[in-house]
Amino acid sequence: MALMALIMLIVSSITFFIIRWLPGDPVFLLVGDHPTKEQIEQARKDFGFDDPVYKQYASFLKKIMVLDFGVSLRTRQPIITEITNRFSATFELVLFSMFMAVILGYLMGIISALRQRTILDYLVRGFGYIGLSVPVFWLGMIMQLIFFGILFLFPLQGRYSGVGSLNSQLINYSGFLLIDSILSFEWDLFTDALKHMILPSLTMAFGVLGIMLRTTRTSTIEIMNTLFFRTFRSFGFNDYETILKSGYKNTLIPVTTVAGLSFGLMLGGTFLIESIFDWPGLGQFSVLSILTRDFPAILGVTIIYSSTYVIINFLIDVFYVLIDPRIRGQN
């Protein structure tokens, strides 16, 4: 836990000083067009921008200890409120995308390894290479063109069709629209939210799917050349049966590592994905904050993103202990 806190402190501190050294004055976002000198000085005083940098940094550290990120210069709302309202949308999108990437990439990687040097193997590997090489912004626009503009299968953008879809019967259990609509038995809303989720999650998952596929295929091939795998063969088990009985456990270790690292990649990808699909999450909020030099909002979002990434990788380490007996033995 101490290491997690240290990492978040370093990330937030680096972000703080980089933002302070950027050219431009965020005060002009507050005072509007043609401000007077008195208005500019008052705005700097109100937000503490007239203090020396070390005093601003000390005040920043005190506030983040109690999750006080200040007020957004753009929306005039408390930043913690903005983050709370948008975090569930982003996290739901990332989790759904990661689930798709891990499940599909893992299954396709095993199939590719078991069918080495066949047409199916080449097709699956080619699909993985495409996923790694295609820019996410281009893929997102192509998805919109095909599935909305031509086939009319999925909505163009947004999280749901409109405010009218969120009726009074929906109970906010988790903040995740898919889960809450199921628990509230709002099946029309669930179907609508799922349709809106498909295109952005597929776009986000495509690149990570390629990484998962290649990692799973490589680790599976290595396991198939080990002594225990050949022992299973000598007892009459085919490769599929051996993978199902024992081999898959060994492939989970490198796949889990890649999944943890890829989670950060997906978090960073929300900046583009949410902008392309008009997804009301932290990524879209971050882009607007950067474009308008909303420094307090940028700092708040950076801390939340880094904290989420550190916590997820901590959970990945815990999962290691569960799947690898050697680590349990060392502890």
In this prediction the pTM is 0.82
Report d(CA 168, CA 181) in Å as an integer. Answer: 12
- DSSP letter for 71, please: B
CA distances from 59 to 69, 104, 267 (A): 10, 47, 28
Q: From 265, 286, 264, 266, select the one nearest 275 (Cα to Cα).
A: 286
In the numeric block, which tokens belong to residue 5? 């806190």
Report d(CA 193, CA 127) in Å as an integer. Answer: 28
**Cα-based angle 107, 109, 115 (whole degrees, multiple of 5):** 100
Decide: residue 234, CB within 10 A, 0-12 exposed, 13-18 middle, 19+ buried.
exposed
Other CB atoms within 10 A of residue 290 CB: 15
Report d(CA 100, CA 204) in Å as an integer. Answer: 10
Exposure string over 267-284, b if 16+ CB within 10 A, otherwise e? bebbbbbbbbbebebbbb
- DSSP letter for 165, please: G
Confirm if 203 and 140 have CB atoms less than 8 A apart.
yes
Helical pair 248-276 and 187-224, crossing angle rounded to 10 deg: 140
Q: pLDDT (tens digit, 0 to 9) for every residue of the chain, 331 residues total? A: 666 677 777 888 888 888 777 766 666 666 666 777 777 777 777 667 777 878 888 888 888 888 888 888 788 888 999 998 899 999 999 999 999 999 999 999 988 888 888 999 899 888 888 888 888 888 989 999 999 988 888 998 888 886 444 555 667 777 788 888 888 888 888 888 899 999 999 999 988 898 889 888 888 888 888 787 777 777 777 777 777 776 667 777 788 888 888 888 888 889 989 999 999 999 999 998 888 888 888 888 888 888 888 888 788 877 777 766 666 555 5
Other CB atoms within 10 A of residue 74 CB: 19
Q: What is the CATH number of domain 86-285?
A: 1.10.3720.10
In the numeric block, which tokens belong to residue 33? 């067009």
> Residue 145: what are its φ and ψ, rounded to 5°?
-65, -45
Confirm if 277 and 158 have CB atoms less than 8 A apart.
yes
Exposure string over 119-142, b if 16+ CB within 10 A, otherwise e? eebeebbebbeebeeeebeebbee
Helical pair 187-224 and 119-133, crossing angle rounded to 10 deg: 120
At residue 285, the pLDDT reads 92
- Locate the domains of the chain by residue range: 2-64, 86-285
At residue 165, the pLDDT reads 46
All residues at 6 or more sequence positions from 270 whose CB lies less than 8 Å from its CB, including other chains: 90, 93, 94, 204, 279, 281, 282, 283
- DSSP letter for 147, please: I
